[in-house]
Amino acid sequence: MKNLFIVFDGMDGCGKSTQVSLLHDYLFRKDKRIRILTTREPTFGRYGIRIRDMLSKHKNPYSDAEVLTELYVKDRQDHVDNLILPFLRKDTGNISMVLCDRYYYSTIAYQHAQGIPLNKLITMNKKFPRPDLAIILDLNPETAMHRITRERAVEKFEKLEFMNELRKNFHSLKDLLDDNIKIIDTSGSEEETFAKIKRRINRLLA
């Protein structure tokens, strides 16, 4: 079996981090030959830290679009070159699998909602490796906002009008890109959502 690169993406509040963690634990129990790297974007590198700072301090979801786009692409380049590809290319005799929480799908969806032209965003991200599977977790924005506000204060992009636009953008990715994208509804329980994800993963591993 070849090494695999799997991405989870979608708006905040849809449960990405939870599902990544559940999949990590499932794969670890399923086959001890699988080496798993769990990672996320933005990273905690020099560009990722700047992104996180801007997201926490700047409340207007439409501001800083050009700057954020450039920072996300630079952060992704570091992430791919220094972590993702070295892990996937290392020959250990085992199966190497990367689980990534957010990738270029977020940049296309979020920064297009900010007003950056779609073609520009797609072109800027064409150079990055295409995942073997991209799982877009889908949720009604009102429900996502409810989940977010139960746990913490809202951040820059967590405004209902913006999130409605964001959801449309994530849905459009299946038609815009040639990637293996699966959209999974997360309105049910964590267990119900993971059962759907597990079926997709098992097909990939078969």
Output the pLDDT for position 56: 86
d(CA 36, CA 16): 17
Residue ranges of domains in the chain: 4-205
Per-residue model confidence (pLDDT) at position 133: 98
Please tell me the predicted confidence (pLDDT) of residue 99: 99
Please say whether the beta carbons of 10 and 170 come within 8 A.
yes
Residue 93 pLDDT exceeds 90: no
User: In whole numbers, what is the pLDDT of the chain averaged over residues?
Assistant: 93
Per-residue pLDDT band for 153 (boundaries 50, 70, 90) equals low
Q: Give the DSSP letter string of the chain.
A: ---EEEEEE-STTS-HHHHHHHHHHHHHHH-TTEEEEEEESS-SSHHHHHHHHHHHH---TTTTHHHHHHHHHHHHHHHIIIIIHHHHH---SSEEEEEEES-HHHHHHHHHHTT--HHHHHHHHTTSPPPSEEEEEE--HHHHHHHHHHHS---TT--HHHHHHHHHHHHHHHHH--S-EEEEE-SS-HHHHHHHHHHHHHHHH-
| Cβ neighbours of 15 (radius 10 Å) | 20
* Apex 83 CA angle, 50 and 111, nearest 5: 40
Peptide bond into 42 cis (omega under 30): yes
- Percentage of the residues of the chain whose pLDDT score is greater than 90: 77
133 DSSP β-pair partners? 6
pTM here? 0.93
Q: Name which CATH class applies to 4-205.
A: alpha beta
